[in-house]
Amino acid sequence: MELSVLMVPAGAAVLLLLLAVLGKARGGSPNPFGQDARRPPAPLVTEKEARRKVLKQVFSQDKVPSGLDAVVIGSGYGGGASEIAFHSIPIIERAGGAVLTKAPVRSILVNSQGRACGVRVQKGHELVNIYAPVVISDAGIFNTYEQLLPEELRTLPEVRKQLSMVQHGVGGFSVFIGLRGSKAELGLEAKNFYIYRDNNFSEAFLSFLNSSRESAPQKIPLLYIASPSAKDPLWEQRYPGKSTLICLAVAKYEWFEEWKDERTRKRGAEYEDLKQSFVDSMMEAILKFYPQIKDKIEYVSAGTPLTNQHYIAAPRGETYGAQHSISRLQAEVTATIRPQTPVPNLYLTGQDVFLGGFPGALHGALVCASAVLQRNLYVDLVCLSRKIRAKGAKMKN
């Protein structure tokens, strides 16, 4: 089996908004996939022409609208993803807000005029009502409309219409690896690797999704491998002599669904075996790629779609929320699924109202805040960016 590899430098462009990948680049915007990739270690192949053909299938126009081919961001910020919460919470608190953890919302409160007026939150064994003039849900469109909205509002025609326009994204499978050795010792770099098992990606992907759960692990069509620690400028200070790798794949929720009601870590041997078969197959690919880590592995932890369901409340184990397919990105759907909901004072935010991934979620927040404040925050951002640039130029002078 030959593995094709696509490498994208992560340092210069953590956020790769890949506009018009296949030679359709507008106005000379840099196209990371157009760059020549460094040749990966044997036995992997990066044959330029083969790579071009594989990518053409991934970004074909029946999957992704022309002009927007993919939104990718590399895992790994200085200090890790927890930095996002760490830096956001003080801003919320300075504005008079409070952040509660381990406080699942059980339902959205709606007053007699049908307006959202707060949330009912679980606190230990109790339910506590928290009232608010505006309710913004980041729980995703499915959770918000199908679980949190009072039952009588779930059948509102506009709610039904929006739900009919979205599908669940495919489930995710993740492997997290802890290693002995620094990035220099292990030869890890701040890069994202996308590994294709077959040059006919479309066929491989369909055949994978169509397989039984027993044969699926041997047919994973695409792997993402990166070293979050190698991308983190603060890592060596905090964890000298250690490194991490992450490997992501897709996996169908249905393959794991029968254990959805079992408790984590108590799902039994059959579940563990199935999970392990995915881990083994992914580890095999990782070791082909990084043979030097073979004796340095200290820790391996994996997550199935049920893990995503449990820890991030992804209804069907999705990694990127609702599916952002060509149908989701049609003008009518984009105009219909917006932060405003049919329930006054209730808004949606996050990736489901924009695009999947961290940048998509950030933009979801911007369009949501714009809707709540009735003010185009993108205009504010442009002004802010001009101000910062002018200040920078002044300081240079």
Ligand X SMILES: *[C@@H]1O[C@H](CO)[C@@H](O)[C@H](O)[C@H]1NC(C)=O
Ligand Y SMILES: Cc1cc2nc3c(=O)[nH]c(=O)nc-3n(C[C@H](O)[C@H](O)[C@H](O)COP(=O)(O)OP(=O)(O)OC[C@H]3O[C@@H](n4cnc5c(N)ncnc54)[C@H](O)[C@@H]3O)c2cc1C
- 210 belongs to the binding site for ligand X (CB under 6 A): yes
Residue whose CB is nearest to ligand Y in the complex, by number = 350
CA angle centred on 29, ends 28 and 34, rounded to 5°? 90
- 366 belongs to the binding site for ligand Y (CB under 6 A): no
Picked from ligand X, ligand Y, none, the partner binding residue 200 (CB below 5 to 8 A depending on kind) is ligand X
Q: For residues 8 and 72, is the Cβ–Cβ distance under 8 A?
A: yes
Give the nearer residue to ligand Y in terms of CB position, either 281 or 308.
Answer: 308
Picked from ligand Y, ligand X, none, the partner binding residue 228 (CB below 5 to 8 A depending on kind) is none
User: Which member of 4, 31, 162, 174 binds ligand Y (CB under 6 A)?
Assistant: 174
- Scanning 31-39, 93-101, 200-208, 380-388 for contacts with ligand X by CB under 6 A, the matching segment is 200-208
Buried b or exposed e, range 218-255, using 16+ CB within 10 angstroms: ebbbbbbbbbbbbbbeebbeeeeebbbbbbbbbbbbeb
User: Which member of 31, 75, 227, 309 binds ligand Y (CB under 6 A)?
Assistant: 75
* Segment (H or E) for 379: helix 377-396
Which of 234, 249, 283, 289 has its CA nearest to residue 5?
289
- 281 belongs to the binding site for ligand Y (CB under 6 A): no
Cα 330 off chain centre by: 21
Which of 179, 102, 166, 158 has its CA nearest to residue 140?
166
What is the x/- site pattern for ligand X, positions 58-97, by CB under 6 A? ----------------------------------------
Give the nearer residue to ligand Y in terms of CB position, either 215 or 264.
Answer: 264
Query: Which pair of structure tokens corresponds to residue 367?
Result: 């369009």
Picked from ligand Y, ligand X, none, the partner binding residue 210 (CB below 5 to 8 A depending on kind) is ligand X
Picked from ligand Y, ligand X, none, the partner binding residue 144 (CB below 5 to 8 A depending on kind) is none
User: Which member of 58, 231, 358, 363 binds ligand Y (CB under 6 A)?
Assistant: 358
Buried b or exposed e, range 24-62, using 16+ CB within 10 angstroms: eeeeeeebbbeeebeebeeebebeeeebeebbebbbeee
Picked from ligand X, ligand Y, none, the partner binding residue 313 (CB below 5 to 8 A depending on kind) is ligand Y
| Residue 352 exposed, middle or buried by CB count within 10 Å (0-12, 13-18, 19+) | buried
Give the nearer residue to ligand Y in terms of CB position, either 50 or 163.
Answer: 163
Question: Phi, psi at residue 252, to the nearest 5°?
Answer: -75, 135
Give the nearer residue to ligand Y in terms of CB position, either 138 or 272.
Answer: 138
**Measured between alpha carbons, how far is 288 from 290 in angstroms, rounded to an integer?**
6
Q: For residues 373 and 365, is the Cβ–Cβ distance under 8 A?
A: no
User: Which member of 46, 60, 167, 207 binds ligand X (CB under 6 A)?
Assistant: 207
To ligand Y, the closest distance from the beta carbon of 5 in angstroms equals: 18
What 375-382 contacts at long range (C-beta under 8 Å, 24+ apart), as own/partner pairs, is none
- 118 belongs to the binding site for ligand Y (CB under 6 A): no
**Measured between alpha carbons, how far is 10 from 8 in angstroms, rounded to an integer?**
6
- 158 belongs to the binding site for ligand X (CB under 6 A): no
Query: Which pair of structure tokens corresponds to residue 121?
Result: 């939150």
Give the nearer residue to ligand X in terms of CB position, either 206 or 329.
Answer: 206
- 350 belongs to the binding site for ligand Y (CB under 6 A): yes
Which of 138, 149, 141 has its CA nearest to residue 166?
141
To ligand X, the closest distance from the beta carbon of 72 in angstroms equals: 22
- 203 belongs to the binding site for ligand X (CB under 6 A): yes
**Measured between alpha carbons, how far is 393 from 397 in angstroms, rounded to an integer?**
6
- Scanning 141-149, 202-210, 266-274, 351-359 for contacts with ligand X by CB under 6 A, the matching segment is 202-210
Count of residues engaged in binding ligand X, rule: CB under 6 A: 7
The residues that touch ligand X, with contacts defined as CB under 6 A, are: 57, 200, 202-203, 206-207, 210
Site for ligand Y, rule CB under 6 A = 73-75, 104-105, 138-139, 143, 148, 172, 174, 248, 308, 312-313, 319-321, 350-351, 356-358, 361, 364
